[in-house]
Chain A
Amino acid sequence: MSRSLKGALFKGLLLFSLFVGFLMLAVLLVDVFQDGLPYLDLALLTNPPSSDPEIAGARPAIIATLYIGVLLLLFVVPIGVFTAIYLEEYADKTRWYNKLLEINIQNLAAVPSIVYGILGLAFLVRGLGLGRVLLAGAMILTLLVLPTVIIAAREAIRSVPDSIRQGGYALGATQWQVVSRQVLPAAVPGIATGSILALSRAIGETAPLIMIGAVTYISFDPTILGPFTALPIQIYSFLRLPQAEFKLLAAASIIVLLAILLTLNAFAIYIRNRYRRTW
């Protein structure tokens, strides 16, 4: 086989791989939009679910998903960033317990989400006695994406060159001053991007929420300490109903979920590009 033929074959393979991914995405989008667009109206956003598909909406689920998103960020960003600061800036990396921490965080990121659901059921819903409430859902999703945020924040902190730290120390700054005034501001783009991507992963999660019992039929606006359902679960609930119209309503809800996720991701990309720094 000639060398140029090999090259052409390899390029073809690359294009094919690319094509598979794009084709899947295109089929998904076309299918969802075909089914869902006619049902994508204001009623979907403002009405609660109903047995009548003509007036049924996903308002409680959308609101719950937004609540969960906000709570999640409030929980996960400080915990994740502080953990990352400790591991990168304060921890003596030669100590065994710090090495153990590192390995554990890497492993936690790979734990299946259903396992977090079980943990949430056992410790938050029953152990802490929170019940099957929105707060418990937000907390369990926080634990789920915490390792991702820690890893992203660590990478962002590590990408701040040491010369900046040294420059700060050489002027008589304390470690906390160097971290808070030099390292963290420089790491904000990476931390923000990682947090938003973690958020969009959490918002799309279904399994842990099913596990802690967020599958109830909710026809009223959720509260933080009340029962709730989330958008992915609402989609699942619509699909389980016998009438064919609900399948279309589910497709319309999928469009809403996709819109939220794509907006978040676009925002993350914007932040990354806006604050990208070259040293």
Chain B
Amino acid sequence: MTEQANTIEPMSLAEIAREHGDESVSNREAVFQVNDLSVSYSGNVAIRDVSLNVYRNAVTAFIGPSGCGKSTLIRCFDRMNDLVPGAKVEGDVLYHGADLYAPDVDPVEVRRRIGMVFQKPNPFPKSIYDNVAFGPRVLGLKGNLDERVERALHQAVLWDEVKDRLKESALGLSGGQQQRLCIARCLAVEPDVILMDEPASALDPISTTRIEDLMHELKREYTIVIVTHNMQQAARVADMTAFFSVEVDEETGKRTGILVEYDKTAKIFTTPADKRTEDYVTGRFG
């Protein structure tokens, strides 16, 4: 039984990827252009010399083993790394052609355009309504707040479950509901891009499926970047997939993340160009 599953899985992954990947993605406008990006924390290089483009209205997945720097990379897109003392970003991240790390760019302004959903659901210890309304309130967004909250909850497919208890604490929701609430919270400020850092890794399979379905819906309006450990997930949701790996310095033993291969998801899971990618996606490594 297990043996059979092992031999079938790589095949089905490729099939999943062929079914879902959108072939025309790389002709679209690039929302992010990353050139020779390196990030270090207090001198330790977490990820080195990454160059890739993130395309509009597509889902881009970052996959790879632990410590390969994929979370570090996604946190460059909304400048969340600025909050880490000792973090240093070198190279370029262009957002619609503008340098995200130019001296006159305010990270607060960056984050109102680029939303983020975290690995562990992190609802605020407030009511469901206040969680979704937090973003519009702090940004001073105009318009009817009730409508905005309702729209965001609809988009996150949470409305029907919470419409009768908007004033109740968000901490009373299940893990999957909390994560969709965090997505709704992010959508309420109408961002341009949604970054998701392993959004389903703390959730059960049913909740995971719902989040994945949601991503298919959301990419019509938004550009999505997702970090995931789960290769099936990448194959199911992503149009483009980047595979990262860890390079160990033989002298110092220091581990650095590198981008191995970046291509259409179908290509990554069927005919990867790099041996390391092939080993990883067929389950021989990692």
> Which residues in A have some Cβ–Cβ distance to B below 8 Å?
92-94, 161, 163-174, 177, 181-182, 185-186, 277, 279
Contact = CB atoms under 8 A, between A and B. Distances in A.
Given A93-B85, A166-B80, A166-B83, A173 B186 contact: no
B85 A171 contact: no
15 contacts: A92-B85, A164-B122, A165-B83, A168-B134, A170-B80, A170-B111, A170-B116, A171-B112, A171-B189, A172-B112, A172-B139, A173-B108, A173-B134, A173-B138, A185-B125
B106 to A, nearest CB: 9
- Interface size, B (range): 20 to 34
Contact of A181 (B83, B134, B185): B134
A174 B108 contact: yes
Interface of B: 78, 80, 83, 85-86, 108-109, 111-113, 115-116, 118, 120, 122-125, 134-135, 138-139, 182, 185-186, 189
Nearest to A170: B116
Contact of B138 (A163, A166, A177): A177
Output the residue of A166, A170, A174, A181 with the most chain B CB within 10 A: A170
B122 A166 contact: yes
B85 A167 contact: no
B118 A163 contact: yes
A167 B139 contact: no
Given A94-B85, A167-B124, A171-B139, 5 more contacts: A161-B122, A171-B111, A173-B134, A173-B138, A174-B138
Given A171-B134, A172-B189, A182 B109 contact: no
Contacts of B116: 166, 170
A170 B85 contact: no
A153 B113 CA distance: 34
B115 A171 contact: yes
Contact of B185 (A94, A166, A171, A177): A171
Contacts of A177: 138
Contact of B186 (A94, A163, A170): A170
